[in-house]
Amino acid sequence: MKKAIEKLREVKAKAALGGGEEKIAKLHAKGKLTARERIELLLDPGSFNEFNLLIKHRIGAAGDGILTGHGTIDGRVVCVFAHDTTVFGGSMGYMHGRKVYKIHEMALDMGVPIIGLNDSPGARVIRPDVAGSDNPYRISDEKHAGVVFLANTRCSGAVPQISAILGNCTGGSVYMPALTDFIFMVDGTSHMFITGPKVIKSVTREEVSMKDLGGSDVHCRITGVADFRVPGEQECMLGIKRLLSFLPSNWREKPAPKPCKDDPERLTPSLEEVVPMDQKWGYDMHKVISALVDQGDFLEVKPEFAGEIITGFARMSGHAVGIVANQPMVLAGCMTVNSSDKQARFIRFCDAFNIPLILLVDTPGYLPGKDQEHAGIIRHGAKVLYALSEARVPKIAILLRKVYGGAALGMGVLPGFGTDLIYAWPGTEIGPMGAEQAVELFYDKDIKASKDPEEFRAAKIKEYSKEYADSLSLASDVTYVQDIIEPQETRRCITRSLRLLENKRLRKDRKRHGNIPM
């Protein structure tokens, strides 16, 4: 037995080196970590339990280009996989795919998050004339590299799926992270694209660098494919840990509360200075969020994409919440095609994993113009209406200054969207349009015919605002706004409301699923 154990240890030690020390050294020279080092950086020390380490070890390709297993992060069990670029470049082969599929099944069956550390060129290119090759086109087993996307889809909405792009992910290997909930990218290292620069040049003669085609700047700022951009791999692992701290392990659970050192009843008088009464003046909504949430701790999702809407996670009285807020500093807080996609996806994630939603509302409406209409604002805006209507988690809306027209729908303010509680600050305006636009529309001829057009216009604007757009008038006439509150009472109002809604029963529709506008 002693000799057998020694032999096992020898084989495992060699397999743990993947493609060997020479290839590991080349990785380190590029400033990159190995798959095993990445997992060790992510998980609690000594907690990683690996599956199928010895697959293909007899041919010197241990693991078939991927590590899979489970471990813990801050004591919580997670499943994890990491592409090993020292073996077949981390490409996706048959046994490789089976390992990925099985670790997703394990995460789903056990109800734990799954984290993918991606660094793969995609499907492995195999000569069809090589005897005994693992050519995927000659294999009937459904659990292989070609259908790992089925595993992603089955996990969606059941367990959190988090991806890190830590190298060049091309072809089919970009779809696996694209199907997950959140994507991290590392500046200067991460690239994602379906067809690379060489293929593009051969087909279209266009020359483009990997960075300009699919670097972190492109996907975090322009396409919105990625959610977080970090300067290095260590920061990436820390970011994943922080994100995970806001999430439950699966859809049956709520996020674990954290000890709260911030008084839930704390008043926030600074908000009276942060938010100007003049509707035309901008301000940074981040300052409002920071004043409201526990200790100002806010993890923003997609901070560089569609900045007119802010989405992210925070805690109120120790409990995780999802925040959706208009940003007056960007496009005056108008809602757009891109902001609609960003908002709808975030709302659906929060609803899937029992995370209450806080809506901070201050928007003049949807951005007008031919570009937005031709880009499909109707279809994209409908995604938000669908997501809000579908969401069963507690929803609380705070109206800060204004909400006009269709934006009252897109922010879940009007009755019918299931928003549980709606509060407004003094002076908040709600209506089909702003007072100035309404006066111009209804009194254009009267203004022109008056002796003093400017005085007449100003009087009508004041009259319209008082009669139709003032929150006190609204509170007198409707029931869907529960109360008009002082800005300094906002945090206390939210924490008390969350306490009320903590055990809200979730109704389920009797159908397979709806058909969200895509």
Residues that are catalytic: 171-172, 406-407
Distance between CA atoms of 82 and 27, rounded to whole angstroms?
15
CA quadruple 148, 150, 151, 154: dihedral, nearest 10: 170
Estimate the crossing angle of helix 148-155 against helix 94-110, to 10 degrees: 10
Contact 249, 111 (CB under 8 A): yes
- Contact in structure between 404 and 365 (CB atoms under 8 Å): yes
Taking CA atoms, 320 is separated from 243, 312, 353, 491, in Å, by: 11, 10, 11, 14
Strands 319-326 and 309-316: antiparallel
Name the β-bridge partners of 102: none
Q: d(Cα 429, Cα 248) in Å, to the nearest integer?
A: 37
Which secondary structure element, helix H or strand E, spans residue 498, and what is its range? helix 490-501
What burial class does residue 34 get, using C-beta atoms within 10 Å of its C-beta: 0-12 exposed, 13-18 middle, 19+ buried? buried
Angle at 336 between CA 281 and CA 468, to 5 degrees: 55
Q: Are 145 and 100 in contact (CB under 8 A)?
A: yes
Buried b (16+ CB within 10 A) or exposed e, 124-143: bebeeeeeeebebeeeeeeb
The amino acid present at 183, given as its one-letter code, is I
Give the whole-angstrom CA distance, residue 420 versus residue 5: 62
Cβ contact 362:333 at 8 Å = yes
Q: How far apart are CA 321 and CA 393, in angstroms?
A: 10
Contact present, 301 and 312 (Cβ < 8 Å): yes
Query: Distance (Å, rounded) from C-alpha 302 to C-alpha 311?
Result: 7
Which residues, 6+ apart, have CB-to-CB distance to 312 below 8 Å?
289, 298, 299, 300, 301, 303, 322, 323
Instruction: Please state, in angstroms and rounded to a whole number, the distance separating the CA atoms of residues 371 and 348.
Output: 27
Q: What is the dihedral of CA 168, 173, 178, 182, to 10 degrees?
A: -60
